[in-house]
Structure 1
């Protein structure tokens, strides 16, 4: 069993899990912002033809698992990741790893998490937590967005590990296998690689629905939602955007603040003051995402509802798209020492 695991609260589930799992194997240089940035966690995608909770799929971060995978890969740390068709095999594999003293990350559904407040429970299957011990039939859980460790019975854990629906986790678990010292030079290279990957994802990824182009695409769609869907359905779509932005994994504004912190911490490894200037732009973007969430909530709750209100909402996203475009273009031009 793993009695030395240290639970540290985080702003976002996967970057928090990444930091805590790596710290558990002795990688003390890792912080949550560094994990988020090295893992190229910042993203945006709007997928209207996929529905989650009767609204369009909207994501403000990379696909589940990418942050942990890329962070470890960039630092030369071997990762084991498993999915299961059998619930019995999934539990046995987890039990075996716990018996070896390993802390294990799990992708789970939110809806049936017993320690989540009811207002935060809905069908979202890309949450991450750590299981690090077992006492009888209770698994000891470190969920990084909670302030302290908790526990779940084997039935409760199985239920969330095998939640149904979009992004069904299928018992997925993962952990870092290698335990070795990470040098400052490795951190420098990992930071550089993470930034370059994020530049590609936000500026150069093909298609109109992802990255900066996706933010702009969504902004223009929002301006037509009222006429196309009617006020009630358009309000529900905006509620979906706010839910994904502010209630699931810190969302639009919070992710931009974490990325700003990443660039500030990256400055300690790459002595380039441009990193600090660009960091300020992501803080501006985060502020605007939060302002747009207030506007969207006003429409959903009926305080606002005119076409002009939808136009203002769309214009916020157009301004955000331009800020992030300029910021990532500046990152693409950085001179690395």
Structure 2
């Protein structure tokens, strides 16, 4: 029996969102025990909103409540002076060989995968989404040990199952994407404070200073305007499917809208301690309120999707809820922009 494991050294971390969890678990494995999911999310400027024009996902609007896949890990590691190795592969055999060598060397690695063929996922959560993240931390015979941060316990995948999800086809195809931190050195509180300040400033830029109408708080207004027109433009059935797609993007793909707002609020509370600035904790309450409102909007959208709500006034109410959310988030980021957090 050829068995390689890291179960004694690597510790599984369950988190709300996959990339935050991979970042947290890998950095903790390398000795950065202070790392938490909110801190990774905030230092990585994870909060975002965009309705991507001229693109659909699962026959619905392409909406994201978070920054580009991979950015949270990259930015957080950079802030802490951690070198990162990333590789993609055109050959499945080369991807398998590289992974096998890292496992044999006892190095836990992050992998980008497609969700649709993840056999340990409940069937209702398997759909075509190729930006999920997990950690491979060992192997027992021909099964790889998987730490998927959104799962309560560790799982396993056969060689064939893992290769299939690593080379899933479609938008954001992972192409065997593998990544891991290297040369991790001790981190000072000053480095953490600088990382927090940089993360906040970048998130301010992305949410209230990004040009155009599709992204940031203006992107929320853009979606609101679409929702108001969908019933007449698309018909009730298709409009309901579009709203259902927003709910899926918000609530099922790694916490989405509401959950990410709660997470950013938790980051600001943690940041207040590092920065010794209670104003951050006060502003965190705005994001908690925004998260509650995103959840309320999702419930209303689900009512249309399920056929319980059918009138134009229901679409108007949802659109108005998004406008209210936009104002809260714009105000919160403007407050953050006025804080002197240092360069």
TM over 0.5: yes
**1:125 maps to what in 2?**
130
1:228 aligns with 2:233: yes
1:78 aligns with 2:55: no
**1:26 maps to what in 2?**
31
Q: CA deviation at 1:8?
A: 1.3
**2:258 maps to what in 1?**
253
Correspondences of 1:1-337 after superposition (within 5 Å): 1=4, 2-3=6-7, 4-336=9-341
RMSD: 0.8
2:81/2:184 contact within 8 Å kept: no
Spell out, residue by residue over 1:164-192, the C-alpha distance to the aligned partner (whole angstroms, 9 max, x if none): 11111110010001221111010000000
Query: For 2:331, what is the secondary structure of its paired residue?
Result: helix
Query: For 2:275, what is the secondary structure of its paired residue?
Result: coil
Tell me how many residue pairs correspond in the alignment.
Answer: 337
Spell out, residue by residue over 1:256-314, the C-alpha distance to the aligned partner (whole angstroms, 9 max, x if none): 00000000000111111110111000000000000000000000000001110000000
Q: CA deviation at 1:70?
A: 0.2
2:53/2:214 contact within 8 Å kept: no
Gaps of 5+ in 1: none
Spell out, residue by residue over 1:113-152, the C-alpha distance to the aligned partner (whole angstroms, 9 max, x if none): 0000001110001110000001111000000010010100
Quote the Cα distance in structure 1 between the aligned partners of 2:265 and 2:114.
29
Quote the Cα distance in structure 2 between the aligned partners of 1:48 and 1:296.
21
Quote the Cα distance in structure 1 between the aligned partners of 2:161 and 2:306.
34
Quote the Cα distance in structure 2 between the aligned partners of 1:283 and 1:92.
45
Moved over 6 A (4+): none
Query: For 2:86, what is the secondary structure of its paired residue?
Result: strand
Gaps of 5+ in 2: none
Quote the Cα distance in structure 2 between the aligned partners of 1:84 and 1:319.
45
Query: For 1:298, what is the secondary structure of its paired residue?
Result: helix
State the TM-score, normalizing by the size of structure 1: 0.99
Query: For 2:85, what is the secondary structure of its paired residue?
Result: strand
Q: CA deviation at 1:207?
A: 1.4
Query: For 2:50, what is the secondary structure of its paired residue?
Result: strand
